[in-house]
Chains A and B, each alone.
Chain A
């Protein structure tokens, strides 16, 4: 079967998921199956089909599993967001459409994605510039003790790190393509670890500085961790030096520890992480209430969950999600676990892992080192983003405000991640094409 036919078949579960999901929410809301659920299902299937046709025409050999996985995650996300707040789901659906448009545009305009290398300094400059935008007075939006977003008139909040992560990966992939040979050679062996010459620590120092800068300037631990993790993975893959990872993690741990004890917002988040059920922290403003209730929401889920739409998000008699703050963004994993249980949560994680597997597969098959590094960086960044937010909700690490890709409510996230997937497919198309032709 051709790759595109496999992709087409792969879209069936996604459209069934969105139809069944909406039907479930409607049944739970009013005990009727409205034909609106079928309409939603049909619209999403139609949109996915359009994107599929574009891929079929432009990248016939590209990875067949990536897009169905994304469609399933995005459709699942829109159902969960709808269950939390129908109005937000409508906006999310609009962003979904914009994301798909940008996805198609990226695929068409960037057929020769290696052109990006030519603009790498422009790209990195723009990425760094938009990263600090939230701190610029008049632009930035301060929420929950961190500078996470930029307010764009008419469009709402814009989260620059979602786009910056792609730009930074493009830059580092291109930079490492040139320098990785140099970085990988030379050095002395100390305690069995080959240490590169001191000057080769330049790149790691730069990304370390970037991560620390984000923490100091924006108090944004989540983005800091995501960008640092993704770029470090890229550095390791490019050079094959474990010493980069060891030194890099140590440096980050040291920096995070120092900042964690000196920046009050970061420190508070760490305290909430360590002692979420301490009544003093629980009742403190911006305290551990959210983390603790995320855990409680998961505990309510058990193995099979309470059922779709059955978990409690607000205290009766109050408006909004008073029991589980930010259920559609930060806490969406807790909502999923509460309603679909451990098995539902495991299925979501498995879907992400399959995505990561396909991403790395694309990287391995890619035809040149820039392409390999680009796919590796984007996939690693994506995987670490999932880890950072789910890890925060499950108390593996302190909770920070990054989105769960394709599932969380958020326009920037969904649009940027669609671009990310488009880039992966662009890498995959020619690479797999070459492979398949060679096999014939």
Chain B
């Protein structure tokens, strides 16, 4: 019988080999496919077991932290709630959902796997991520929220020298501790990066950049400022239909004379204007360390609301020159315009992340300022700075004056709503101190009943600038 027993043993060895083959199939061959199977929640649970790092403001204030949840998991808590919700976003590992910096800096927050631990896994039972220090300034952010005083709108402030985002506030906000139960008066939309605002006259900075940098105009070029003016076959009016007569480009900037800028834009032409818009960052998603899905490119929209390609013949270039004609911007984009002028034409890459510090307190990564684009010649930037300084000194932007600190700015008041309605979208772009800029800022208020950029938006910019400049930013 021993021959039969041997044969039975051989069959059993074969059966066990089959078990090993199938175990190998699941553990090695098909492992990736199985791990990514949508029915498999282990990946999500593993995420919940990672103690994600904190997100902190530039002064060390905690904006996001991990708190213990059930079964050795971690939950996310946001001590500052709505104040920073739009910038920081949220992370719900249990659902694999994230937004804002929580999403874009996730690889840091989860802890980068380096060296031996990437091969053999972590030796410690809990995986601990790295802390992310942001460039955000809590006091200025709070000042922005207070100055907006509940009105829908947005404030973005940059350090023009580095591209650091100092303020990113959007109202209405939401409580990122409960992102999935946004009630009335709350919004997940980050106006700072996603809104479609009409820039109005703040766009005249872009028009003037193209006009001066191309050599077609100088600040002293004289243009007729009478109103109305036929632009693309439709009359264009100055504010209050005021006829200014022949004026220099500088004066046109100071008093925001529409008809002059419409003529300048038409001289500059669609192609050249589009070229300068692209240099400022239009027509592309901003190079911010923020989820691309939560940013939109600033561009020009057709009547039906479709984005037009740069320099499209459908453009009403004259009206674009005064920030109408379908020009659609985000507050971040206009802050970048101000920052480029402020930094001598050198537009720095905007960034929210300052540095990454691991759980041992060692800085593992520091974000160094990088040049995004040389938008214009330094001389153009200097000329624009002078013009914009006079806007604040004597023109439409006097409301932002800061005593002995000179401020360069430009107001914007786009007409929105049906014709005849008094609805406006006030905005303000500024940087200060004008001679050695430390802060560039853009303010938008969604709508106002006849308010101007200089009366509605400028005071908000002033409040935030005061805080930032007092801190020596």
A residues apposed to B, CB below 8 Å: 28, 31, 233, 236-238, 240, 277, 279, 282, 292-293, 295-304, 306-307, 310, 312, 314-317, 323, 337, 341-342, 345-346, 349, 352-353, 356-357, 360, 363-364, 369, 372-373, 376, 380, 383-384, 386-387, 390-391, 394-396
Please judge, given known A-B contacts A279-B39, A292-B39, A353-B16, whether A298 and B71 are in contact too, CB under 8 Å.
no
Instruction: Select the stretch in B28-36, B260-268, B275-283 that faces chain A.
Output: B28-36
Q: How far is the CA of A299 from the CA of B4 in the complex (A)?
A: 37
Q: How far is the CA of A306 from the CA of B45 in the complex (A)?
A: 14
User: Out of A306, A346, A383, which one reaches B12, CB within 8 Å?
Assistant: A383
Does the CB pair A316–B23 fall under 8 Å?
no
B473 within 8 A of A: no
B404 within 8 A of A: no
Please judge, given known A-B contacts A236-B8, A240-B3, A356-B12, whether A323 and B45 are in contact too, CB under 8 Å.
yes
Does the CB pair A298–B26 fall under 8 Å?
yes
Q: How far is the CA of A301 from the CA of B29 in the complex (A)?
A: 12
Does the CB pair B19–A394 fall under 8 Å?
yes
Residues of B within 8 A of A372 (CB): 1, 5
Chain B CB within 10 Å, residue with most, of A238, A314, A315, A384: A315
User: Out of A240, A352, A384, A394, which one reaches B22, CB within 8 Å?
Assistant: A394
User: Out of A299, A310, A312, which one reaches B35, CB within 8 Å?
Assistant: A299
Distance in Å: Cβ of B191 to nearest Cβ of chain A: 35
Does the CB pair B26–A295 fall under 8 Å?
yes
Does the CB pair B26–A394 fall under 8 Å?
yes
Q: How far is the CA of A353 from the CA of B24 in the complex (A)?
A: 17
User: Out of A296, A302, A394, which one reaches B37, CB within 8 Å?
Assistant: A296
Distance in Å: Cβ of B49 to nearest Cβ of chain A: 8
B300 within 8 A of A: no
Residues of B within 8 A of A314 (CB): 71
Residues of A within 8 A of B70 (CB): 316-317
Please judge, given known A-B contacts A233-B8, A296-B34, A316-B70, whether A349 and B19 are in contact too, CB under 8 Å.
yes
Q: How far is the CA of A369 from the CA of B13 in the complex (A)?
A: 24
Q: How far is the CA of A240 from the CA of B26 in the complex (A)?
A: 37
Please judge, given known A-B contacts A302-B28, A364-B2, whether A391 and B19 are in contact too, CB under 8 Å.
yes
Residues of A within 8 A of B73 (CB): 316
Q: How far is the CA of A28 from the CA of B49 in the complex (A)?
A: 14
B149 within 8 A of A: no
User: Out of A282, A295, A345, A360, which one reaches B5, CB within 8 Å?
Assistant: A360
Residues of B within 8 A of A295 (CB): 26, 34
Q: List 27 A-B contacts (CB under 8 A).
A: A31-B125, A237-B1, A240-B3, A292-B39, A293-B40, A295-B26, A296-B34, A297-B42, A299-B26, A299-B27, A299-B31, A300-B35, A312-B42, A312-B45, A312-B46, A315-B45, A316-B69, A323-B41, A337-B23, A342-B24, A345-B27, A352-B16, A356-B9, A357-B9, A360-B9, A372-B1, A387-B19
Does the CB pair B28–A342 fall under 8 Å?
yes
Does the CB pair B27–A298 fall under 8 Å?
yes
Interface residues on B, range: 35 or more
Q: Which chain B residue has the least Cβ–Cβ distance from A346?
A: B20
Does the CB pair A240–B45 fall under 8 Å?
no
Please judge, given known A-B contacts A307-B121, A345-B27, whether A369 and B1 are in contact too, CB under 8 Å.
yes
Does the CB pair B42–A300 fall under 8 Å?
yes
Please judge, given known A-B contacts A233-B8, A299-B35, A342-B27, whether A390 and B125 are in contact too, CB under 8 Å.
no
Please judge, given known A-B contacts A315-B45, A387-B15, A396-B18, whether A310 and B125 are in contact too, CB under 8 Å.
yes
Q: How far is the CA of A369 from the CA of B37 in the complex (A)?
A: 53
Residues of A within 8 A of B39 (CB): 277, 279, 282, 292, 296
Residues of B within 8 A of A310 (CB): 125
Please judge, given known A-B contacts A317-B71, A394-B22, A396-B22, whether A341 and B16 are in contact too, CB under 8 Å.
no
Residues of A within 8 A of B19 (CB): 349, 387, 390-391, 394, 396
Distance in Å: Cβ of A427 to nearest Cβ of chain B: 13
Q: How far is the CA of A287 from the CA of B39 in the complex (A)?
A: 13
Please judge, given known A-B contacts A292-B39, A302-B27, whether A349 and B20 are in contact too, CB under 8 Å.
yes
Residues of A within 8 A of B22 (CB): 391, 394-396
Please judge, given known A-B contacts A292-B39, A315-B41, A345-B23, whether A360 and B13 are in contact too, CB under 8 Å.
no
**Cβ proximity bits B372-411 to A, threshold 8 Å, 1 near / 0 not:** 0000000000000000000000000000000000000000
Does the CB pair B94–A303 fall under 8 Å?
no
B352 within 8 A of A: no
B residues apposed to A, CB below 8 Å: 1-9, 12-13, 15-16, 18-20, 22-28, 30-31, 34-35, 37, 39-42, 45-46, 48-49, 69-73, 94, 120-121, 125
Does the CB pair A380–B8 fall under 8 Å?
yes
Distance in Å: Cβ of B76 to nearest Cβ of chain A: 14
Q: How far is the CA of A300 from the CA of B26 in the complex (A)?
A: 9
Q: How far is the CA of A416 from the CA of B39 in the complex (A)?
A: 38
Distance in Å: Cβ of A18 to nearest Cβ of chain B: 22
Distance in Å: Cβ of B449 to nearest Cβ of chain A: 49
Residues of B within 8 A of A363 (CB): 1, 5
Residues of B within 8 A of A315 (CB): 41, 45
Q: How far is the CA of A310 from the CA of B127 in the complex (A)?
A: 12
Does the CB pair B31–A316 fall under 8 Å?
no
Q: Which chain B residue has the least Cβ–Cβ distance from A283?
A: B39
Chain A CB within 10 Å, residue with most, of B12, B28, B69, B71: B12
Q: How far is the CA of A386 from the CA of B23 in the complex (A)?
A: 14
Q: How far is the CA of A342 from the CA of B25 in the complex (A)?
A: 10
Chain A CB within 10 Å, residue with most, of B22, B30, B120: B22
Q: How far is the CA of A391 from the CA of B27 in the complex (A)?
A: 15
Chain B CB within 10 Å, residue with most, of A233, A292, A307: A233
Q: How far is the CA of A362 from the CA of B71 in the complex (A)?
A: 48
Residues of A within 8 A of B120 (CB): 304
Distance in Å: Cβ of B283 to nearest Cβ of chain A: 42
Distance in Å: Cβ of A45 to nearest Cβ of chain B: 28
Residues of A within 8 A of B23 (CB): 298, 337, 342, 345-346, 349, 394
Residues of A within 8 A of B6 (CB): 360
Please judge, given known A-B contacts A237-B8, A240-B3, whether A323 and B42 are in contact too, CB under 8 Å.
yes
Q: How far is the CA of A277 from the CA of B30 in the complex (A)?
A: 13
Distance in Å: Cβ of A318 to nearest Cβ of chain B: 8
User: Out of B12, B71, B125, which one reaches A316, CB within 8 Å?
Assistant: B71
Q: How far is the CA of A236 from the CA of B9 in the complex (A)?
A: 12
Residues of B within 8 A of A373 (CB): 1
Residues of B within 8 A of A376 (CB): 1, 5, 8
Q: How far is the CA of A396 from the CA of B15 in the complex (A)?
A: 10
Q: Which chain A residue has the least Cβ–Cβ distance from B11?
A: A233
Q: Which chain B residue has the least Cβ–Cβ distance from A342?
A: B27
Please judge, given known A-B contacts A300-B35, A356-B9, whether A387 and B26 are in contact too, CB under 8 Å.
no
Residues of A within 8 A of B7 (CB): 236
Q: How far is the CA of A357 from the CA of B2 in the complex (A)?
A: 13
Residues of B within 8 A of A237 (CB): 1, 4-5, 8
Residues of A within 8 A of B69 (CB): 316-317
Residues of B within 8 A of A296 (CB): 34-35, 37, 39-40, 42
User: Out of A299, A306, A352, which one reaches B30, CB within 8 Å?
Assistant: A299
Please judge, given known A-B contacts A316-B69, A387-B19, whether A337 and B27 are in contact too, CB under 8 Å.
yes
Does the CB pair A240–B121 fall under 8 Å?
no
Q: How far is the CA of A306 from the CA of B121 in the complex (A)?
A: 8
Q: Which chain A residue has the least Cβ–Cβ distance from B124?
A: A31
Please judge, given known A-B contacts A28-B125, A315-B41, A356-B12, whether A302 and B31 are in contact too, CB under 8 Å.
yes
Does the CB pair A303–B71 fall under 8 Å?
no
Q: How far is the CA of A254 from the CA of B342 in the complex (A)?
A: 85
Does the CB pair A240–B1 fall under 8 Å?
yes
Q: How far is the CA of A310 from the CA of B126 in the complex (A)?
A: 10
Distance in Å: Cβ of B27 to nearest Cβ of chain A: 4
Q: Which chain B residue has the least Cβ–Cβ distance from A278?
A: B39
Q: How far is the CA of A341 from the CA of B26 in the complex (A)?
A: 10
Q: How far is the CA of A342 from the CA of B125 in the complex (A)?
A: 21
Please judge, given known A-B contacts A237-B4, A277-B37, A277-B39, whether A301 and B27 are in contact too, CB under 8 Å.
yes
Distance in Å: Cβ of B29 to nearest Cβ of chain A: 10
Distance in Å: Cβ of A385 to nearest Cβ of chain B: 11
